[in-house]
Amino acid sequence: MPAAAQQREPILVPDISEHTIVLRQGFTGSDVLLFGAILPPDGVRSDTEYGVVIVLKGPTEPIRIREKQRLSWLGIWVNADSTEYRSVPSFYAMASSRPVLDMVDERTAAIYELGLDYLQLSPTGQINPEEQARFSTGLVDLRRRQNLYTQDEHGVRLTEDVLYRARLFIPSNVIAGEYVAETFAIADGRVITSATSVIAVRKEGFELTVEEESRDNAFFYGLFAVGLSVFMGWGAGRLFSLV
C-alpha cells in the first residue's frame, strides 16, 4: 500500500483496565474493561461509520476430544470416535458493536476469526469434513457451557465513532498464561486497522507451588494426592461414626 494511503488510515489506541490477573484461592472471575479510541491521523474527524470488534484469546493448547456413544442394550455410555487438535484457544471471547456479518463478509470473518463460527481449530491427521465439523461444533459447545467461549455481537459500545468500550468476563477456570486482546476497526466491509493489548494471567503463592510440584514431581504429587484422599475419607468416616 502506498505511504500516502497508509497515512489516511485511522489510528487505533486501545487499553485495558487490568493488565495482570492473579489466580488465587477463592478467585471467582474478573470483569475486564477494554476501551480506546479511533483517531483520525490528520486530526480531522471524518464521516466514516466505523464498526469495532474485540477478540480476547487465551493460550493455545493441544487437546483430544472424544465422542460418547450409548450402548442401548447395556444402558451405558462409552467412548467412541475421537480426534486431536494441535492448537485450540483455551479461552475465547468476542464482542462487537453490531453483528459481524453486517460489517464484513464470511471470508474476512474467517481470516480474522471474528466469532465462534470462524475459529480455526487445526485438527491433526486425516479427518472427514463432516466429522471435523461435528467434532468442532461439539468442542465449541462444550467450552461455551464451561464459560470459556463467549461472544456478544452487541457487546461494544461505540460513541460518536471515536470512543469504544466493552466488558469481557474472565472466569475462574482459565489457565495461566498470556491473553491477547486484539481490537479491529472496520469500515466499508474491511478491516482498516487493528491493535493488540496483553493481559498476563498468573498464579502466585500456594497455587503456584502446587502447580509446579504437580509438573516437576508428578509421581510423588500423585502419591500425595491419593494418600490425602484416603486420609480424608477415613477421617470423615470416623467423624460420622462418632455422631
Quick: pLDDT tens for 169-219: 999 899 999 999 999 999 999 999 999 999 999 876 655 555 545 555 566
User: What are the residues facing 166 on neighbouring strands?
Assistant: 34, 156
Band (1; pLDDT cuts 50, 70, 90): very low
Question: Which residues are CB-contacts of 68 (< 8 A; sequence separation ≥ 6)?
Answer: 77, 78, 79, 80
C-alpha pair distances (Å), 157 with each of 9, 153, 160: 21, 11, 10
Chain Cα centroid distance, residue 140: 11
Which contiguous run of DSSP H or E holds residue 86?
strand 76-89
Structure confidence at residue 135 (pLDDT): 83
pLDDT tens profile 121-165:
877 766 677 778 888 888 899 999 999 999 999 999 999 888 999
Does residue 3 surpass a pLDDT of 90? no
pLDDT tens profile 53-66:
999 999 998 888 87
pLDDT tens profile 63-84:
888 777 676 666 676 666 778 8
Instruction: Give start and end residues of each alpha helix (H) in 113-217.
Output: 129-145, 206-216
Lowest mean pLDDT among 6-15, 24-33, 93-102: 6-15
C-alpha pair distances (Å), 146 with each of 51, 78, 108, 135, 171: 29, 22, 28, 17, 9
